[in-house]
Amino acid sequence: MTWSQFLDGLSRYGLEDAEEALLEELRREAHPVRTSRAARALIESLVRRRRLSLISREATGGSESFLLFDPSRRARIRVRLPLLEAGRSERIPLPLQAVDSTEIAHDDLRKLMSSQSNLIAYDRVLSPRELASRFQHLLEELFPGTRASFQAMEMPSRSAWPQVEWDRLPIPREELEACVARRDHLVRGTLENGHSYLILPAGDPQVGWSGFLLLESPGTRFFENDALALATLVVEHFSGLLSTLMRLEGLIFYDFLTGIYNRSYYEEQIEKEVRLAQRREQSMALLIVDIDDFKAFNTRYGYDGGDRVLATVACVLKSALRGTDTLARYGGEEFAVILAPPVPREEAIAIAERLRMAVAEEPFEIQDLEGRLRRERLTVSIGGALFPDHGTTPRELWAWANRLVLDVKRRGKNAVRFGVSPTEVR
């Protein structure tokens, strides 16, 4: 089927108003750049509404070839369009002009709105990275032939994200950071290799996160009209869900007394870290940190005094750990520390000793029940287990470390024990 035959038969697809406008521009044979952009926007819209199927597209020489399939006529259509000027980008102000929802395919809207349920998977709340992955797939489904990726620039400390590879991005770092900080425009353009891109800023300063979604196409492609609006709508919806998810994490996984993770988060994270260590064949470690003589603090200073001890020890431990490690309050006066892989035995012992010394050297003053200021010394006992030497499951690692911390208590407290073999554990 020729290009002119394709245009003449477009009325059978039940064109929407925006598509009719694009078709009219094509028939006028206006400026080549505008014509090429209109043709791409029309093809993109018909593929997204499933009036056509995209079999393949490739850029060769100075042109781009689309191989399409028309299911209504069971015919293939090959379209060649000149490549647009490479290396060009443009800013598009936000918010976009309001778009009538009738211009967006009902299937697209249904997929977008049903993504609300993506916050829950079986019996747990998704992690922010899992939600981002799902929205990447949604964008790739809504825009066939496009590769989507979410790049995190600023995230809460509890969220671990890959570093942005600035040298691989299509615009300079300073320009991109300004785009994300202001969130008043998006950027689209083409690269020297003929590929195209769309950068959509996202973030929520109240929750404390920012980033952007990058859409990349194997050929020169400009998102126009309802397609551009749909991409922006997806990002706005994603931003709202991600902020909600981060707030839920704060409610579900945080111990509000100490400001660190709680036992629920620890149990979920230790499973992930053990699986990661197994997959990479690397070592990791679990430390149990128990506050010495904690009941005596409660007796002398009341429960408020005990709370101050817990909060102080948590703060000291957190500041002495690596950024990749996990600290959680397991229960009572007991803390769990996950040392992320890879961590050899010698380094794990050194970290445990650093934690013990940091607590012992922390100045601590507290008011007694009569209101007098007292200086007290805080100490902790620590037991450690190494994966896979001391266990290959979270339960086995906990049992090993727990026996060692109890042994430290019996021997006089304020020490670290990290067993080498089962014979060392009494």
- Among candidate residues 251, 273, 300, the one where a domain is terminated: 251
Please check whether residues 61 and 136 belong to one and the same domain: no
What's the token pair of residue 92? 């598009």
- For the cut 80, the answer to whether the pLDDT of residue 41 exceeds it is no
Share above pLDDT 70 across residues of the chain, in percent, rounded to a whole number = 84
Confidence at residue 422, expressed as pLDDT on a 0 to 100 scale:
42
Please check whether residues 73 and 94 belong to one and the same domain: no
Please check whether residues 139 and 39 belong to one and the same domain: no
Confidence at residue 112, expressed as pLDDT on a 0 to 100 scale:
61
Share above pLDDT 90 across residues of the chain, in percent, rounded to a whole number = 37
Confidence at residue 40, expressed as pLDDT on a 0 to 100 scale:
77
Please check whether residues 180 and 326 belong to one and the same domain: no
CA 52 to chain centroid: 33
Confidence at residue 358, expressed as pLDDT on a 0 to 100 scale:
96
Q: Is the dihedral of CA 248, 249, 250, 253 positive or negative?
A: positive
Please check whether residues 78 and 95 belong to one and the same domain: no
Alpha-helical regions (H) of 71-188: 106-114, 128-142, 173-182
Of 419, 341, 356, 335, nearest to 385 by C-alpha is 419
The secondary structure element, H or E, covering residue 26 is helix 17-28
Please check whether residues 244 and 132 belong to one and the same domain: yes
Confidence at residue 118, expressed as pLDDT on a 0 to 100 scale:
61
Confidence at residue 8, expressed as pLDDT on a 0 to 100 scale:
74
Name the band, by pLDDT with cuts 50, 70 and 90, for residue 333: very high
- For the cut 90, the answer to whether the pLDDT of residue 383 exceeds it is yes
Count the domains in the chain.
3
Looking at per-residue pLDDT, the higher value among 27 and 261 belongs to 261
- For the cut 80, the answer to whether the pLDDT of residue 291 exceeds it is yes
Please check whether residues 174 and 264 belong to one and the same domain: no
Give the start-end residues of each E strand in 223-314. Answer: 254-255, 260-261, 284-291
What's the token pair of residue 344? 């050899």
Confidence at residue 3, expressed as pLDDT on a 0 to 100 scale:
63
Letter string b/e over residues 80-119, b meaning 16 or more CB atoms within 10 A of that residue's CB: ebebbeeeeeeeeeeeeeebeeebbbeebeeebeebeebb
Bridge-based pairing state of the strands 284-291 and 373-375: unpaired
Residue 230 · residue 49 · CB < 8 Å:
no
The Cα angle at residue 186 between residues 180 and 191, in degrees rounded to 5:
105
Please check whether residues 108 and 56 belong to one and the same domain: no
Per-residue pLDDT, averaged over 394-401, amounts to: 95
pLDDT tens for each residue of 303-313:
889 999 999 99
- For the cut 60, the answer to whether the pLDDT of residue 103 exceeds it is no
Bridge-based pairing state of the strands 380-387 and 284-291: antiparallel
Please check whether residues 10 and 75 belong to one and the same domain: yes
Q: What domain range is 149 assigned to?
A: 89-251
Please check whether residues 138 and 181 belong to one and the same domain: yes
The Cα angle at residue 381 between residues 375 and 383, in degrees rounded to 5:
160
Confidence at residue 219, expressed as pLDDT on a 0 to 100 scale:
61
What's the token pair of residue 148? 């989507």
Which CATH number fits the domain that encloses residue 306? Answer: 3.30.70.270
Question: First CA to last CA across the chain, in angstroms?
Answer: 82
- For the cut 50, the answer to whether the pLDDT of residue 101 exceeds it is no
**Picking from 9-13, 336-340, 391-395, which range would have the lowest pLDDT averaged per residue?**
9-13
Which CATH number fits the domain that encloses residue 159? Answer: 3.30.450.40
Please check whether residues 35 and 7 belong to one and the same domain: yes
- Among candidate residues 224, 251, 278, the one where a domain is terminated: 251
**Picking from 100-109, 206-215, 376-385, 410-419, which range would have the lowest pLDDT averaged per residue?**
100-109
The Cα angle at residue 378 between residues 420 and 333, in degrees rounded to 5:
70
Of 352, 382, 377, nearest to 362 by C-alpha is 377
Q: Please provide the average confidence, as pLDDT, over all residues in the chain.
A: 83
Name the band, by pLDDT with cuts 50, 70 and 90, for residue 60: low
- Among candidate residues 82, 99, 118, the one where a domain is terminated: 82
Of 361, 366, 356, 270, nearest to 311 by C-alpha is 366
What's the pTM? 0.56
Please check whether residues 233 and 269 belong to one and the same domain: no
